[in-house]
């Protein structure tokens, strides 16, 4: 995965490009982060906002772990091992209870903040020791983990990284858009999502980007624009076919887009006719049913 941010005064180097087509990651957790954080935000005030930031940072980070494993295959062994260990630290369990007897020892932390700081230290060490593209990926992760500790510095680092090209730049823009939305700056978030939506072969799926953009439009009171995006996501998914021409199940993002459309424009939602994927047992109910 990428390193979330780079130092505020340095310019991020572009990750080495290979000739392989980019993999598009349809991470459903990503597309739901905004809503979950928004719901939580309604329950916390004052100092509780720090908790909200921590949850948002953890959510975003968890949503990107899968991308790391793709990057992992393209990096040198020592660098990828070091980055992998830092990833493990960032995913370590937070608990005040000791590891039960009989279970293998595992790294644990007593607080989310303690884990985030340890992760930052490890990712920074990787960034200091290795060159691109691992260095840039490590800095990206430094920034993401820093969101719950020093949000202002983290956002500045994301802004620097977002100005670079390649995967790190794209992921940093996405993280920055989520941060802007979480900070109550929907106009800035929308502008970034629109920029991401216009990219070709983005590492982040169009559905994920457009779903987030539609949520911003709702907050801005632009219900028609939000409905159009939700409709497009759900409509295309409802008509999708596999290589043999058979209908495929709608993704979680597409189903949620349809649900959102039903809320804000029920009539338009009726235009979406979802095809049922064929049973692997052929016609009728499965054996024994």
CB 13 within 8 A of CB 132: yes
93 sits in which H/E element: strand 93-94
The predicted pLDDT at position 106 comes to 79
The predicted pLDDT at position 96 comes to 86
Residue 267 has pLDDT above 70, yes or no: yes
Question: Which range is least confidently modeled, 47-51, 106-110, 129-133?
Answer: 47-51
Q: For the CA atoms of 174, 218, 234, 232, what is the dihedral angle to 10 degrees?
A: -80
Residue 284 has pLDDT above 70, yes or no: no
DSSP, res 248? -
Residue 136 has pLDDT above 60, yes or no: yes
Asked whether the CA dihedral 231, 232, 233, 236 is positive or negative, the reply is: positive
Residue 260 has pLDDT above 70, yes or no: yes
Pair type for strands 108-109 and 93-94: parallel
Q: What percentage of the chain has pLDDT greater than the value 90?
A: 55
Give the mean pLDDT of the chain.
Answer: 78
The predicted pLDDT at position 53 comes to 43
Residue 2, token pair as written in the block = 């990428």
The predicted pLDDT at position 98 comes to 79
Q: For the CA atoms of 84, 89, 93, 95, what is the dihedral angle to 10 degrees?
A: 170
């Amino acid at each position: 995965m990428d390193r979330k941010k780079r130092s505020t005064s340095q310019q991020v180097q572009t990750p080495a490009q290979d000739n392989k087509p980019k993999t598009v990651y349809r991470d459903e957790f990503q597309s739901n982060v905004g809503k979950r954080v928004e719901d939580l935000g309604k329950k916390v005030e004052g100092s509780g906002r720090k908790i909200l930031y921590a949850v948002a940072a953890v959510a975003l980070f968890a949503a990107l772990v899968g991308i790391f494993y793709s990057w992992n295959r393209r990096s040198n062994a020592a660098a990828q091992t070091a980055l992998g260990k830092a990833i493990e630290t960032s995913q370590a369990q937070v608990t005040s209870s000791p590891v039960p007897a009989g279970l293998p020892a595992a790294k644990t932390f007593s607080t989310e903040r303690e884990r985030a700081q340890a992760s930052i230290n490890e990712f920074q060490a990787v960034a200091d020791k290795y060159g691109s593209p691992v260095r840039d990926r490590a800095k990206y992760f430094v920034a993401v983990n820093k969101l719950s500790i020093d949000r202002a510095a983290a956002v500045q680092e994301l802004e620097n990284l977002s100005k670079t090209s390649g995967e790190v730049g794209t992921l940093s823009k996405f993280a920055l858009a989520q941060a802007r939305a979480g900070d109550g700056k929907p106009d800035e978030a929308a502008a970034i999502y629109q920029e991401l939506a216009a990219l070709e072969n983005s590492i982040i799926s169009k559905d994920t980007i457009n779903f987030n953009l539609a949520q911003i439009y709702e907050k801005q009171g632009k219900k028609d624009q939000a409905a159009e995006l939700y409709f497009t996501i759900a409509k295309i998914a409802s008509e999708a076919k596999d290589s043999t021409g058979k209908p495929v199940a709608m993704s979680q993002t597409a189903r949620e887009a349809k649900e959102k459309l039903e809320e804000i424009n029920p009539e338009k939602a009726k235009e979406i006719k979802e095809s049922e994927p064929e049973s692997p047992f052929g016609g009728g109910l499965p054996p024994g049913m």
